[in-house]
Amino acid sequence: MSKTFMWNEKCERMSRSELENLQLGRLKTLIESLYKKVPFYKERMDKAGVSASSLKTLADLKFFPFTKKTDLRENYPFGLFSEPLSNVTRLHASSGTKGKPTVVGYTKNDIDMWSEVCARSLCAAGARPGDILHNSYGYGLFTGGMGMHYGAEKFGATVVPASGGRTQQQILLLQDFGARILCSTPSYALNIAYTMEELGIKRDTIKLERGIFGAEPWTEELRSQIEDKLKIEALDIYGLSEIVGPGVSMECAEGRNGLHIWEDHFLPEIIDPVTGDVLPIGEEGELVFTTLTKEAIPVLRYRTGDISRLSLETCACGRTTARMQRVRARLDDMLIIRGVNVYPSEIEKVLLALEELSPHYQLVIDRRKALDVLSVQVEVTDELTKQWGHFDNDCVEFSNLSTHIQTLLKDNLGITADVQLMKPKAVPRSEGKAVRVVDKRKEDKSQAESAAVKTPVSKH
Ligand code: DLL
């Protein structure tokens, strides 16, 4: 068997005891520094009655307070920074669709560390120095584009900074520049595949062999569809801006079974999302990360809201780091439909198992007569539409098929849903992170709220 090529074998194959010693040392330094430099953490640690001296083993981390997204928002923009802005070379921010954006900063060393973990990730996915890498993650405040870009440059790849959108032109560049590696969200990879099909562009006019896909939840079923359509190997990359951006963990090409966490920089825990208790290795719960080496905005026990589980089993690639299983869902994406809890990824699994359907779908939730109603809008395949003929509306009637899907959703997930079969291209295509859920109840509420703000209220 040929030896696995690793970007940083020393760090990726450390023995468990060596790694844990390193983590403990870094964790103590981090806690001391947060206590001294960030009033928010001093206050939280004082309240919990803990300090660096409380940390005798890694397990003692459980006594320390969590950090949440709301803490970043409440301390907007720079309240949780550990370094003055004069030492910060870059700022990124979330889109802020749910209020104030969350802002993160990077020192020069942070950018180096981020590039290092992205280079490790590229290598684990089977990229090689000299590869042409087409990067369709968005450039800008989102961390995806620039994170992968710097990692790829450090790695020695030739980067095509395509960013999101203008899909036809991206396909042209894929054809003419001959990229072997595609970095994008899984939903955008599908958009590329379907656009090629619609334009009648043959697969053998592009040289892609591998995709490094992440930034949104996706299922094994979606992976199969992407691999089948684009004839590439699709691998999962995970990350979040509060921890660093892309490159917190990466699935390796040899194992394809969980994502290697770059544990010398990011310390993972799995907790019960309700009680906050740390769960044993192997149990499913909410992922929590502590940054061990970040300078500008290190975070202590950051609650990601992502559901996964950890494994310490040996991997076929020889890396010794803990692996996290593909994120099953985000806690705040859970839908409650007439009392039944369901995640969009569970609905995706049911839909993608049916060959009559294409993988473009949206879940629309509305309220009718005080009851929540879920509409599953999913496109049928081109072949099915051709068999059936032409339609004036976007929504087509295949009553047997929609009843069949309704039954599958009821039997497998216990949910009652309207199923609307859509013509090809009727569901909006993703250019970055796919919008899987449209919650009209929230839209109505926020419209009502903004109307109330705009309406002048007389005090007399
Ligand atoms: O999405 C960073 C990133 C860019 C990761 C490119 C991978 C590739 P945020 O915009 O802060 O950062 O969103 C972070 O996206 O908490 C997860 O819910 C979700 N997410 C990221 N990667 C995956 C993945 C970037 N591989 C949030 N699978 C995270 C499932 C993912 N969800």
Residue 216: CB within 6 Å of ligand 1?
yes
- How far does CA 227 lie from the centroid of its chain? 19
225 lines ligand 1 (CB under 6 A): no
pLDDT at 447: 52
Specify the higher pLDDT residue, 186 or 368.
Answer: 186
Ligand 1 centroid – CA 306 distance (Å): 9
Q: Which pLDDT belongs to residue 392?
A: 55
Closest CA to 380 of 404, 403, 363, 397: 397
Question: Cα separations (Å) of 345 from 217, 364, 408, 410, 423?
Answer: 7, 14, 15, 15, 22
Cα of 375 from ligand 1 centre, angstroms: 26
pLDDT number for residue 121: 98
Q: How far is CA 78 from CA 37, 89, 113, 141, in A?
A: 13, 14, 21, 15
CATH number of 334-454: 3.30.300.30
Q: Give percent of the chain with pLDDT exceeding 70.
A: 92
pLDDT at 366 over 60: yes
Classify 330 as helix, strand or coil.
strand
**Can you tell me the mean pLDDT for 285-296?**
98
93 CA from centroid of ligand 1 (Å) = 13
144 in contact with ligand 1, CB cutoff 6 A: yes
Q: What is the pLDDT of residues 245-257, one digit of tens each?
A: 999 999 999 999 9
Return the CATH architecture of domain 1-330.
3-Layer(aba) Sandwich (3.40)
Q: What is the pLDDT of residues 204-246, one digit of tens each?
A: 999 999 999 999 999 999 999 999 999 999 999 999 999 999 9
Q: Is 330 in the pocket of ligand 1 (CB under 6 A)?
A: yes
Instruction: Tell whether pTM > 0.85.
Output: yes
The pLDDT of residue 457: 32
Q: Which residue ranges make up each domain of the chain?
A: 1-330, 334-454
Torsion sign over Cα 190, 195, 201, 205:
negative
Distance 216 CA to ligand 1 centre (A): 5
Q: What is the pLDDT of residue 394?
A: 62
CA angle at 262 for the pair 258 and 264, rounded to the nearest 5°: 145
